[in-house]
Amino acid sequence: MFDFLYPAYDWIKALHVVSIISWMAGMFYLPRLYVYHAEKAETGSELDRTFQIMEDKLLRLIMNPAMIASWVFGLLMIALGAFDWGSVWAWAKLLGVIGMTGAHGWLAARRKDFAAGRNTRSGRTYRLMNEVPTILMLVIVVAVIVKPF
């Protein structure tokens, strides 16, 4: 069904990697913005509005398109046979990516809280959340590259 894409496989894989790099940059940076936003900005202040603009643009213009592109190119690679569904590594990667998508959704919901002036979470919460993408990234990369299981 997707045979016409085989000649473009290397391009699809390259675009998948570029998309992931862009998505991960945002996944590392947005929680850090939230730490400073929660700790330094009073609701309604100029600093609050500045953080909101930065957070919104990072999420809307970089992270969301990068996440969508990562999924699209990843699904295309699956359609072209890049996954061995009989191996644990493929399922570990898939669960890691689903977890990363869930973390992305949680961060997007927190942006809406800040925008509505109803953030109730501390900088510590966002510091902890900053570690989640790192852990998920390690699971995904080790599963795909090392294939330990």
pLDDT at position 82 is 87
3-state secondary structure 55-120: HHHHHHHHHHHHHHHHHHHHHHHHHCCCCCCCCHHHHHHHHHHHHHHHHHHHHHHHHHHHHCCCCC
pLDDT at position 3 is 81
From the list 132, 96, 116, 97, the residue with the least C-alpha distance to 55 is 116
Q: Which domain holds residue 13?
A: 7-83+109-132
- Residue 30 counted as domain residue: yes
- Residue 73 counted as domain residue: yes
pLDDT at position 4 is 86
pLDDT at position 11 is 97
pLDDT at position 2 is 77
- Residue 54 counted as domain residue: yes
pLDDT at position 5 is 87
pLDDT at position 132 is 97
Q: In which residue are the tokens 């996440």 written?
A: 67
With a CB cutoff of 8 Å and minimum separation 6, the contacts of 97 are 70, 71, 74, 140
The low-confidence residues of the chain, meaning pLDDT below 70, are 1
pLDDT at position 124 is 97
Say how far apart CA 72 and CA 79 lie, in whole Å.
Answer: 10
- Residue 141 counted as domain residue: no
